[in-house]
Amino acid sequence: MSLKIAVLPGDGIGSEIVSEALKVLEVLNQKFDLNATWQEATIGGAAYDAEKDPYPASTQALVKDSDAVLLGAVGGPKWEALDKPLRPEAGLLRIREDLGLYANYRPTKVFDQLLEASTLKPEVVQGVDILVVRELVSGIYFGQPRGFEEYKGERSGFNTMRYCESEVRRIARKAFEAARLRSNKVCSVEKANVLEVSELWREIVTEVHQAEFSDVELSHMYVDNAAMQLIRNPKQFDVIVTGNLFGDILSDEASMLTGSIGMLPSASIGEEFAMYEPIHGSAPDIAGEDKANPLATILSVAMMLRFSLNRADLAEKVEQAVEHTLDAGVRTVDLADGQTPVACSAMGDAVCAALEKLA
């Protein structure tokens, strides 16, 4: 039976990085009998330009009829003047909510080949392997009420940060389950000293731990301290579980331990659907220049193989191919550090060549 993948290149460098990921899928089909098919659709600014909707009905239908979704990136200054519901980012929030993608897995692994690319000392980052489990469909990004109003005689904007008990329980379970497959440690990050929503978060995570996962080591940390500790001593972390806003910020911070945000994949998973994408944005400043780093998108394909397509064996092959490519000294401009960089397409070709050698 063929595996169906919905491919959403999106905006900016999205089409460039997704093209390289599709090259990898083609090699897996030809050399490893993956038997996957894919169909493209629009999302974000490209979807607005085509259909005046950043998440059109045609895309909704395609993603719900697929085994997995591969996304590039959305956004750009071209669409910033649109009303908020029509902006590219609204399409991204809507697809996450529509598919129920409440658990966002963002791994940060420092490759030995790229130790010098990090701005931190090699002894600080060598061996770092962190998984941020971010709640993705609630919290302040989705809370109501929100908007603008006059308050105390001047303009004001307001948002609501809200979590319900069930939302915290399900993301906590995902984090503890992930930790059992890793180093068996979870650090729950919040701001319980000043936020009621964080008090509830800490209480529920503790309850889930005591009732179902007492074999996993649990610690709690305020978000400001967690941000500092990620730079001071990142190797203390195994799995970090946190809310939507804090997870967005901390995972981007963690990405710089690797030397480039272009190295980090992600998986957004619900009960029925899953979507895979690099954590970086659409980088409109380099769009169309063949400069982007496609490795985060290629590594997102590896996560898709592992979590949605039940081909962990092929996920390992893709990850090995990336390692071999880095061993060979192939670097895009974000990783070059004085070396001669290769183009986005050349990096994709190099990974495909390494993958073919593993066949």
Question: What pairing do the DSSP bridges indicate for beta strands 265-269 and 274-278?
Answer: antiparallel
Are residues 322 and 107 in contact, defined by beta-carbon separation less than 8 angstroms?
Answer: no
Check whether 60 has a pLDDT greater than 90.
Answer: yes
Of the listed ranges 62-76, 225-239, 247-261, the least confidently predicted one is: 247-261
Of the listed ranges 6-15, 22-31, 253-262, 308-317, the least confidently predicted one is: 253-262
Bridge partner list, 218? 186
Residues near 194 by beta carbon (within 8 Å), at least 6 away in sequence:
none
pTM of the predicted structure, to 2 decimals: 0.91
Q: According to the model, what pLDDT value does residue 259 have? A: 84
Q: According to the model, what pLDDT value does residue 147 have? A: 96
Q: In CATH, which of 1.10.620.20, 3.20.20.70, 3.40.190.10, 3.40.718.10 is domain 1-109+259-359?
A: 3.40.718.10
Reported as a single tens digit per residue, the pLDDT across 162-217 is: 999 999 999 999 999 999 999 999 999 999 999 999 999 999 999 999 999 999 99
Q: According to the model, what pLDDT value does residue 339 have? A: 84
Categorize the per-residue pLDDT at 280 as very low, low, confident or very high, splitting at 50, 70 and 90.
very high
Q: According to the model, what pLDDT value does residue 105 have? A: 97
Exposure string over 94-105, b if 16+ CB within 10 A, otherwise e: bbbbbbebbbbb
Reported as a single tens digit per residue, the pLDDT across 289-338 is: 999 999 999 999 999 999 999 999 999 999 999 999 999 999 999 998 77
Check whether 1 has a pLDDT greater than 80.
Answer: no
- Percent of the chain topping pLDDT 70: 100
Give, in order, the Cα–Cα distances in Å from 99 to each of 12, 238, 271: 24, 28, 9
Residue 351, CB half-sphere, CA atoms under 13 Å: how many? Answer: 34
Are residues 96 and 248 in contact, defined by beta-carbon separation less than 8 angstroms?
Answer: no
Which pairs with CB-CB distance under 8 Å and at least 24 residues apart come from 190-194? Answer: 190/220, 190/222, 190/223, 190/242, 190/243, 190/246, 191/222, 191/223, 191/224, 191/246, 192/220, 192/222, 193/222
Q: What are the structural domain ranges in the chain?
A: 1-109+259-359
Reported as a single tens digit per residue, the pLDDT across 75-130 is: 999 999 999 999 999 999 999 999 999 999 999 999 999 998 888 999 999 999 99
Are residues 92 and 59 in contact, defined by beta-carbon separation less than 8 angstroms?
Answer: no
Q: Which residues are catalytic?
A: 141, 191, 224, 248, 252
For the chain, the average pLDDT equals 96
The pair of structure tokens assigned to 80 is 């910033």
Q: According to the model, what pLDDT value does residue 256 have? A: 86
Reported as a single tens digit per residue, the pLDDT across 38-51 is: 999 999 999 999 99
Categorize the per-residue pLDDT at 54 as very low, low, confident or very high, splitting at 50, 70 and 90.
very high
The H-or-E segment that residue 288 falls in is: none
